[in-house]
Chain A
Amino acid sequence: DIQMTQSPSSLSASVGDRVTITCRASQSISSYLNWYQQKPGKAPKLLIYAASSLQSGVPSRFSGSGSGTDFTLTISSLQPEDFATYYCQQSYSTPPSFGQGTRLEIK
């Protein structure tokens, strides 16, 4: 099974900051990497699929990059509604696996 590791586990930032979250796979997964946002008490929401494709309706301040084993999610200018937990997920092989999450908090 493929293990996904995110860093950092938590992050404090301010509105307007540029933020980067990293996800590393235990083996190469090409571009089979998705990013989700989850707010407390809510279901996850798809942000990015295929490593860098923006899901419809997601603001352009979100972007994804990477391939192979190393991936990043970048928020170019943090907005108040972006404070949430972010998960990466590989869809290269079954079982699909998620990272442990990165909690983004207000500084």
Chain B
Amino acid sequence: EVQLVESGGGLVKPGGSLRLSCAASGFTFSSYSMNWVRQAPGKGLEWVSSISSSSSYIYYADSVKGRFTISRDNAKNSLYLQMNSLRAEDTAVYYCAREGIVVVPAAMDGYYYYYYMDVWGKGTTVTVSS
């Protein structure tokens, strides 16, 4: 069964740090880009960060750039999010999500690459409060 399981959430004071983990199973983890997406209480979905399969490409939302670091260990089938200088507005459920891709030949030449988040974990809750 394809599965993602997040862990590492908890209560932390403003300015503190936390490291989230996401354990993958049931698929070839090293072949997929991965994402972190968060959801503040009662709010919508917000993309946080993504990392390519070999860690060559890493991206962050402006809201976390310079404070959060995404990484992965393909040997351990694991994704991580190191969160530093935490703020109250970082309070959210954090989901890891696999990035699926479908490649479609273009009419003339070349290809279209369609990306989507097709497998999600159940999430881990981060609360930043004094």
Contact = CB atoms under 8 A, between A and B. Distances in A.
Interface in A73-107: 87, 89, 91, 94-101
Given A95-B59, A95-B61, A46 B116 contact: yes
A50 B37 CA distance: 20
B44 A46 contact: no
A28 B123 CA distance: 32
A91 B114 contact: yes
A34 B121 CA distance: 18
B27 interface: no
A9 B19 CA distance: 34
A7 interface: no
B32 interface: no
Interface of B: 35, 37, 44-47, 50, 59, 61-62, 95, 97, 100, 102, 104, 112, 114-118, 120-123
Nearest to B121: A43
Interface of A: 30-32, 34, 36, 38, 42-46, 49-50, 53, 55, 87, 89, 91, 94-101
A36 B121 CA distance: 14
B43 to A, nearest CB: 9
Contacts of B50: 94, 96
A46 B118 contact: yes
Nearest to B123: A43
Contact of A87 (B44, B116, B121): B44
A102 to B, nearest CB: 10
